[in-house]
Amino acid sequence: MHRIDVHHHLIPSAYRERLAAHGIAAAGGRELPDWSPEGSLEVMDRAGIATAILSVSTPGTGFLADPGEASRLARDLNDETASLIAAHPDRFGFFATLPMPDVDAAASEARRALDELHADGVVLLANARGTYLGEAGQEQLFSVLDERRATVFIHPADLPAPAVTGIPPFAADFLLDTTRAAYLLVSNGIRRRYPNIRFILSHAGGFVPYASHRMAVAIAGESGRSPLDVLDDFSSFYFDTALSASSAALPSLLAFADPGHVLFGSDWPFAPEAAVQYFAAGLDTYTAHDADLGRRIERENALALFPRLGTATAIATPSLPNRIRGAVTRTVMRGVTRLAAGA
């Protein structure tokens, strides 16, 4: 097992109960899946994942209208997750939850989580209660993150608009949500003013790699900057492979992104194990003739961001049934992806 998974969610029981009390049983159009630390570890063993960096997915704290409640929930989530990491330091890291759109509270919790809890970074939703990451008024938070050379994992949320009947938000709207945040971070100069922040975009960056030239021309027209400079800002992002390691998406992503900025991601448990294995097999198939690229995406690029993960002790060999099940699943999924690539 060698993979480092930067896109792996947790759903603590207390958080699930808090969501249920507000009538929330789904996220992104998907019913909240079952989750436990033991379940994560079993899937990780079968998928060859040595370490997963945990994060709370949408809606984060954004379902709470009261800023004080949101801040307390973020604090509770981070304390609980830090305790879990302390119990499994070789298998888990975590991105701390911040109570956006309250910038002051988010900056304060970022300081606490990074300085005291030793979080590996923070997770920020592309939009929180309709306020997009990168909008005006967020300088205090970005200053705190830049001073600490923090890694920021950007995860999509439901768009601040009604969903379209027949299109679950996770299938298409999530990609637009991430793209909107990336656009604002570039167009409003955040990438330039805070160069020490390492931003990871979920799901291969949404539409960023494929629409980057179009967006660069738009921003250049508004700002007078060179489109090439704008493209440099877009390509400075990091990108995970969650639900995106296909024969169609990977060539486009790697034609745009720095190969050192592409990271393995699974999106478990919102992506079921079959999907995790399918896209992991897609990555294996794509990198079969470039072992160095495969090692970089699956582990080495993440170690450059999170060097503490390289000091983990040897991981115990999974149980024989887990190894057999994982091997069979990977073999089947690789066959499926090869057929799809050749179709």
* Nearest of 92, 104, 25 to residue 68 by alpha carbon: 104
Q: Is 340 exposed, middle or buried (0-12, 13-18, 19+ CB in 10 A)?
A: middle
Contact 194, 237 (CB under 8 A): no
With cut-offs at 50, 70 and 90, classify the pLDDT of residue 265.
very high
What pLDDT is attached to residue 337?
A: 43
Output Rg (C-alpha) for the chain, integer angstroms. 19
Query: For residue 125, is pLDDT > 90?
Result: yes
Closest by Cα among 328, 240, 245 to 285: 245
Q: Is 336 in contact with 284 (CB distance < 8 Å)?
A: no
182 Cβ contact list (under 8 Å, min separation 6): 134, 154, 199, 201, 205, 206, 208, 234, 237
**Residue 311 has what pLDDT?**
73
Given a cut of 60, is residue 328 above it in pLDDT? Answer: no
Judged by average pLDDT, the poorest of 38-47, 97-106, 305-314 is 305-314
Which residue would you say has higher pLDDT here, 322 or 12?
12
Q: Which residue has the tokens 């930067």?
A: 6
Would the pTM count as exceeding 0.75? yes
Label residue 321 by pLDDT band (50, 70, 90): low
Residue 49 sits in a domain whose CATH number is 3.20.20.140
Our count of domains for the chain comes to 1
Task: State which residues form the domain around 123.
Answer: 3-342
Q: Are 146 and 5 in contact (CB under 8 A)?
A: no
